[in-house]
């Protein structure tokens, strides 16, 4: 199989109780592709400005990530600034500058067009159709969203869900979208709109996977040192889909294993600022923690 990730590539400024980092590399596409790269060779599509460092593109390549779909446009790269308090589940967005993202309409290079798994990470729902129409019958379309689209493009979001197989959302987003507090009921409402799998990300509380006839769930890997939660959700999705891509089949068994894979990668990301931990992470470390984590949650 082959995994295509369409998402943001950004500069993040992050403030946590452990310090501040200015203009470090971030973005949903970045985290997702790096996380997936431990399991497969993902293709990344996105846009950056002329201020984006070439070394980062080289680093993606080193990690086995295809970068032909990263477009460099005149102007500045998308910037985000956020702050976390001692509760890593709560974050405050201080600034969002779309810059080159504002008018971005991905045109996929030819070698991306035969992707079997497509992940649309936090992409404007109105752009989904344009992206998907460029791909030759993907077996699996996955998407994530952000509160901004849930609030401002509710109808479009419900429309695109019809063509989606796996929908990732955090607790607040799915509650907001379905106007339903109970997560089981909320997931059922989304399932009835199209997706065959709904994955609710609950941050430090783990994740629940709702299928048409099954539910599986796990706590998060308990972390003693949460330095920066940025990118945990995107890395979870990346690890999950990367694992799915590698296992080449979609069964309850692979979904469970992918859940462990995604949770494990996410548990590393939060140990340092931005993508720092992902940069020095090894496959061996992931394997070891996956083994430990599986034992921790198995009954």
Distance of CA 120 to the CA centre of its chain: 8
| Structure-token pair, residue 194 | 């199209």
Nearest by Cα to 11 from 87, 97, 115: 97
Of these, 155, 249, 282, 299, which contacts its own copies (CB under 8 A)?
Answer: 299
**Candidate segments 40-48, 61-69, 153-161, 203-211, binder of its own copies by CB under 8 A:** 203-211
Cα–Cα distance for residue pair 294/172, rounded to 1 Å: 27
| 298 scored as a contact of its own copies (CB under 8 A) | yes
Residue 83 contacts its own copies per CB under 8 A: no
Q: Rule CB under 8 A: say whether 226 interacts with its own copies.
A: yes
Q: Return the bridge partners of 207, or none.
A: 201, 218
Shortest distance (Å) from residue 184 CB to its own copies: 4
Interface with its own copies, residue 213, by CB under 8 A: no
By beta-carbon proximity to its own copies, the closer residue of 84 and 168 is 84
Q: Which residues contact 148 (CB under 8 A, 6 or more apart)?
A: none
Answer positive or negative: Cα dihedral of 80, 278, 59, 2. negative
Binder among 133, 137, 222, 251 for its own copies (CB under 8 A): 222
Q: Is 257 in the site for its own copies (CB under 8 A)?
A: yes
The count of chain residues that interact with its own copies, using the rule CB under 8 A, is 33
Query: Can you tell me which residue has the tokens 């992050």?
Result: 14
Give residue 213's Cα distance to chain centre. 25
The verdict on 202 binding its own copies (CB under 8 A) reads yes
- Whole-number Cα distances in Å, 293 to 24, 101, 201, 246, 281: 30, 37, 17, 20, 17
Residue with smaller CB distance to its own copies, 27 or 206: 206
DSSP line for 122-147: S--HHHHHHHHTTSS--SEEEE---H
Q: Does 297 bind its own copies (CB under 8 A)?
A: yes
26 forms beta bridges with 10
256 near its own copies, rule: CB under 8 A: yes
The stretch near its own copies (CB under 8 A) out of 46-54, 57-65, 76-84, 216-224 is 216-224
Question: Segment contacting its own copies (CB under 8 A): 45-53, 58-66, 147-155, 220-228?
Answer: 220-228
Task: Name the segment binding its own copies (CB under 8 A); options: 7-15, 116-124, 180-188, 274-282.
Answer: 180-188
- Residues near its own copies (CB under 8 A) are 86-87, 181-185, 188, 202, 204-206, 208, 214-219, 222-226, 256-257, 259-260, 294, 296-299
């Amino acid at each position: 199989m082959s995994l295509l990730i369409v998402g943001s590539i950004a500069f993040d400024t992050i403030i946590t109780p452990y310090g501040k980092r200015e203009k470090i590399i971030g973005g949903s596409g970045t985290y997702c592709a790096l996380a997936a790269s431990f399991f497969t060779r993902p293709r990344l599509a996105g846009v950056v400005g002329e201020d984006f460092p070439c070394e980062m593109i080289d680093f993606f390549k080193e990690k086995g990530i295809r970068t032909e779909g990263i477009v460099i446009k005149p102007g500045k790269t998308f910037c985000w600034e956020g702050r976390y308090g001692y509760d890593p589940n709560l974050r405050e967005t201080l600034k969002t500058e779309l810059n080159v993202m504002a008018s971005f309409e991905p045109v996929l290079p030819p070698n991306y067009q035969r992707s079997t798994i497509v992940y649309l990470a936090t992409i404007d729902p109105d752009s989904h159709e344009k992206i998907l129409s460029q791909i030759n019958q993907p077996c699996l379309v996955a998407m994530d969203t952000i509160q901004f689209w849930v609030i401002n493009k509710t109808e479009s979001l419900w429309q695109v869900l019809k063509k989606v197989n796996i929908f990732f959302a955090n607790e607040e987003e799915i509650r907001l979208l379905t106007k339903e507090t109970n997560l089981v009921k909320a997931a059922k409402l989304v399932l009835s709109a199209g997706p065959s799998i709904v994955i609710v990300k609950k941050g430090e509380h783990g994740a629940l996977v709702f299928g048409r006839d099954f539910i599986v769930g796990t706590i998060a890997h308990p972390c003693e040192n949460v330095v920066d939660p940025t990118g945990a959700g995107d890395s979870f999705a990346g690890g999950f889909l990367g694992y799915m891509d590698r296992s080449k089949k979609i069964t309850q068994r692979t979904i469970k294993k992918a859940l462990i894979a995604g949770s494990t990668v996410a548990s590393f990301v939060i140990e340092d600022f931005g993508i720092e931990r992902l940069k020095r992470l090894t496959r061996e470390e992931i394997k070891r923690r996956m083994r430990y984590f599986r034992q921790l949650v198995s009954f």
